[in-house]
Amino acid sequence: MLGRVERLGAGVRTDFAGRPLHEGDRVVCTYFRGCRKCRACRRGAFNVCEFGLSQWVKPPDESPHFHGTWGTYYNIDPDQYVFRVPESIPDTVASVANCALAQVYYGIEVAGLLPGETLAVQGAGGLGLCAIAVAKERGARVICIDGVASRIDAARRFGADDIVDLRELQEAEARVRRVLDLTDGYGADAALEVTGVPSAIQEGVAMTRPTGRYVTIGNIWPGLMTPFDPGTLNRRMVTIYPLMRYLPWKLFDALQFLERTIDRFPWELLIDRDFPFERASEALELSERRLLNRGSLVMEPA
C-alpha cells in the first residue's frame, strides 16, 4: 500500500526515520504493528509482535474505522512504522516496497549473502523478482527456478544468471541436479523460497551447498504438510531460516534500495496493470490464474 498523508495525528512531526512529515506527503507503512512492549518486541523480534495484526479485520463501524487498504482512506496505527517515499520513486514502484521488497531484503540479509556467492531463488513472482534485484546489487550470482514464461522473462531482465525451468524439469530431483550442475556439483551458497509450495522446502535444502543457508518465506499457512528428508538436512548441514514479516525498519531500507537502483532494474515489470477499485475482482481472478504478476488498485479520495 502507498498513500498520501491526509491528516497527521496529534504530535506527529516525523516519519520513523526521523524525517519531517507533512500532510500531502506520499508514505508507505508496515502492514503490521510493532508494539515495543510485548514479549517478542522486548527481544527485538518486532516481526512477530504479539499484537502485530491486532488492527486487522475489524468492522468499519469500529473506531478508527479505516482498517483496510482497499479503501480511499486508511488509518495508520501509532505502532505501524511509517516512512516518507522519496520523490524519485514513482507510485507504482514505491508500492512494491511493501511487502515484497522489504520482505526479501530482510531475507537476503538474514542469509548473509556475500559478493561472488550464488543464490537460488525458488519462484519469480513479485518477491522472487525483488530478491533477484537485491542479490544482484550485492554482487551475487542468481539461479532462478520458475515455470511461467512471463515470470522467467522478467527474471532474466532483472539479471538472473541462470534459469531452471519447471516446464522442462518437472521432477524435483532433476531440478536439484541442474542446480548442482550449475554450481560445480556442490550446491548454491544460499537459497530463498518464495513459492508458498510446501514441497519446495525439501527441494531447496537439497540444492543448497553443505553448510549453506536456506531462507523460507512463502510457506506462511500452518497445516500444509510435505514429506521431508532430515538425513539430507543433516548431511548438508544447511541452516534453515523461516521468516515471518520483516523488521519494520527494513521498509526504510527497501525505499533506499529503490532510490539507488531506480534506473538499474526494470521495476515497471512488477506492476503490470492498474485497476480501478470497481474491478478488484477481475484483478484477483487474473492473479489467481497467473496472468498477472502484480496488479495495483488505484483509488482516489472523494
- Residues lying near Zn ion in the complex (CB under 5 A) are found at 35, 38, 41, 49
**How many whole angstroms separate alpha carbon 261 and alpha carbon 259?**
6
**How many whole angstroms separate alpha carbon 108 and alpha carbon 110?**
5
| Min dist. Cβ of residue 244 to Zn ion (A) | 13
Cell numbers 521431508 label which residue?
228
C-beta atoms surrounding 158 within 10 Å: 25
| Min dist. Cβ of residue 143 to Zn ion (A) | 37
Q: Which is nearer to Zn ion, 49 or 108 (CB)?
A: 49
Q: Which is nearer to Zn ion, 53 or 237 (CB)?
A: 53
Q: Which is nearer to Zn ion, 141 or 245 (CB)?
A: 245
Distances (CA, A) of 289 to 2, 32, 45, 214, 224: 25, 28, 35, 28, 21
Q: Which is nearer to Zn ion, 35 or 197 (CB)?
A: 35
- Segments in 59-182 forming alpha helices (H): 91-94, 102-111, 126-137, 149-158, 172-182
| Min dist. Cβ of residue 39 to Zn ion (A) | 8
| Min dist. Cβ of residue 17 to Zn ion (A) | 20
Q: Which is nearer to Zn ion, 39 or 157 (CB)?
A: 39
Q: Which is nearer to Zn ion, 32 or 252 (CB)?
A: 32
What letter represents residue 75's amino acid?
A: N
> What is the 8-class DSSP label of residue 129?
H
With contact defined as beta carbons under 8 Å apart, do 124 and 65 qualify?
A: no
Q: Which is nearer to Zn ion, 16 or 158 (CB)?
A: 16
For the record, the C-alpha cell of 103 comes out as: 520482505
Q: Which is nearer to Zn ion, 29 or 89 (CB)?
A: 29
| Min dist. Cβ of residue 250 to Zn ion (A) | 16
| Min dist. Cβ of residue 45 to Zn ion (A) | 8
With H, G, I as helix, E, B as strand and everything else as coil, classify residue 183: coil
Which run of H or of E encompasses 255?
helix 250-261
| Min dist. Cβ of residue 103 to Zn ion (A) | 19
Nearest to 202 by CA among 238, 164, 253, 254: 238
| Min dist. Cβ of residue 216 to Zn ion (A) | 23
What lies within 8 Å, CB to CB, of 83 at 6+ separation is: 15, 16, 17, 27, 28, 29, 251, 252, 255
